[in-house]
Every structure is written in structure tokens, then in C-alpha cells.
Amino acid sequence: MENKRKYVIPGDVITTGPYRPEQNVILDGNKIISTAIGISEIYDDSIKVIPLTGKYIPKIDDLVIGKIISHTSLSWELDINSCYVGFLPAQDVFGRDFSAHADELASKLKSGDLVAARIANFDRTRDPLVTIADRDLGKIDSGHLVKISPSKVPRLIGKRGTMIQTIEMATGAAITIGQNGWVVVSCETPEGLLKAVKAIQMVDEKAHVANLTDQVKEMLESKGES
């Protein structure tokens, strides 16, 4: 797999042949053309480009970290670091028997609160519908918010979660990664927190470098000794 990776920019012809175009590629005749700056990956029958830049585009079932920007009597609006605002209906929090005049939305979630939410529905004709009615979702009470580029989230997670496990193990921090590039770090010790934040920022800066997991590990360990 590794030797089939290539750096591409928009307009680059990745290859020709009977491949299925996936993320960030288009088919023109029999040429497969990249539409983003990134790293192309060729699988057995499909091709995709992992982008290195760009805004977050909501996808159904993504976990995102959102910030409440406002509410009406029926719903909240969430800043999810995208070109669309997240729409969180009040029923989601109050349950089926929600009534607009009996329940006050501000009593549950106020402007500026951070929530972990899941994209429940999004079809581009309407703003993305988010939900917080699930395990591990809902208001985030404590932690440190780190903002990274959304295109680098897969790098932060690493292959089968190796990168994030490395950071969590070395610092003892609990890290929640939103696919939209917002990351919440909470840790019992301030040193662990600072180290975890530094590691996350390092991944953001050096996302294209090979063997980054080892470099991060090295950084985490060297800091621990000093």
C-alpha cells in the first residue's frame, strides 16, 4: 500500500484505469484526477485523496464538538467549525413531551457551552441536524479545547487509533476528538494536560511527516524526564 501513495494537487492525474473514484477525486474519461491538495491512496478497486487542507464538511454519524451560539424557543444552533451551523432540536434534550412554553432551553444549554454531538442527518439542502441523545454525548463540563485543522483529524487518530492512544497513555489525559477539528483534552494533572495539548499541536503542524507517531512518542518521553 505504502508505495502507491503520492502527493497530489488539484488537477493531477493520479492514474488511469478502472478504479472507483472516492473522496476528493473525479473521473474524466478514464483519467482519475485529484480535486484537492493531499496524499492519494490507491486500493484494489478504488482511489481516494486524503486532503491536507480545507474546511469541515459534515458527514452523517460524525462525532463533532460544537459550541452553542444561540437558541430559539424550539432549538439550539451550534457552531461546528463548518460552513453550516448545526441544528439541535429541543426534543433531543427534553424528550418527546417537550413543550415550547413550559420548558426553558437556556436552563439546559447556554450560549458558549461546549457539547459533544453526533451528526444525525445532513443532505446539504438543510443545515445539519445534530443529536446529543446518546452515550458519551452531551454537554462538556470540563477540559481544554484545542482547535486543529479538520483535515488533520485522521492523522491525530492515526492508524487504528495508534496516535491518540500513544498520547493518552503517555499523559494520562482523556481526549475527545471531534471530526470538525475541535479536540477536548481533560487531564487530572496540569503537566499531562500541557503535554497532551503540545502533542496535538505537533501533529497538526507536522501532519505530512512520516513516522510521526515515533516523533510524538519521543517528544512525550523526553519531556517527561526533564
Partner 1 sequence: MGGRDATLVLLDENGIRCDGRKVDEPRRIMIKAGGLKNADGSAYIEFGDNKILVGVFGPRDVHPKHMSNTDTGILRVRYHMEPFSVTERKNPAPSRREIEISKVIKEALEPAVMLEKFPRTAVDVYIEVLQADGGTRCAALSAASVALADAGIPMRDMVAACAAGKAADTIILDVNNEEDQAGQADMPIGYMPSLEKITLLQLDGVLTPAEYKKCVETGIHGCKIVYELQKKALTDKYFGNGEK
Q: Does 78 bind partner 1 (CB under 8 A)?
A: no
| Count of residues making up the chain | 226
Q: Which stretch binds partner 1 (CB under 8 A): 35-43, 69-77, 177-185, 213-221?
A: 35-43
Q: Does 36 bind partner 1 (CB under 8 A)?
A: yes
Q: Does 124 bind partner 1 (CB under 8 A)?
A: yes
State which of residues 57, 63, 140, 219 lies at the interface with partner 1 (CB under 8 A). 57
State which of residues 17, 54, 161, 224 lies at the interface with partner 1 (CB under 8 A). 54
Distances from the Cα of 157 to the Cα of 21, 74, 119, 167, 202, angstroms: 24, 35, 19, 10, 13
* Of the candidates 200, 188, 136, the residue with the CA atom closest to the CA atom of residue 163: 200
Q: Does 7 bind partner 1 (CB under 8 A)?
A: yes
Q: Does 145 bind partner 1 (CB under 8 A)?
A: no
Q: Does 179 bind partner 1 (CB under 8 A)?
A: no
CA distance 213 to 216: 5
Of 57 and 137, CB closest to partner 1: 57
Least separation in angstroms between residue 59's CB and partner 1 is 13
Angle between helices 190-205 and 212-225 (to 10 degrees): 150
Q: Does 43 bind partner 1 (CB under 8 A)?
A: no
Q: Does 52 bind partner 1 (CB under 8 A)?
A: yes
Q: Is 212 helix (H, G, I), strand (E, B) or coil?
A: helix
Q: Does 27 bind partner 1 (CB under 8 A)?
A: no
| Phi, psi dihedrals of residue 113, rounded to the nearest 5° | -70, 145
Residues 6 or more apart in contact with residue 143 via CB below 8 angstroms: 114, 174, 176, 184, 185, 186
Q: Does 37 bind partner 1 (CB under 8 A)?
A: yes
Distances from the Cα of 146 to the Cα of 67, 80, 127, angstroms: 13, 14, 25
Q: Which stretch binds partner 1 (CB under 8 A): 34-42, 60-68, 114-122, 161-169?
A: 34-42
Cell 487542507 belongs to residue:
53
Q: Which stretch binds partner 1 (CB under 8 A): 51-59, 65-73, 105-113, 136-144?
A: 51-59
Cell (9 digits) for 206: 507536522
Would you tell me which residues interact with partner 1 (CB under 8 A)?
5, 7, 9-13, 24, 26, 28, 31, 33, 35-37, 51-55, 57, 83-84, 124-125, 151, 208-210
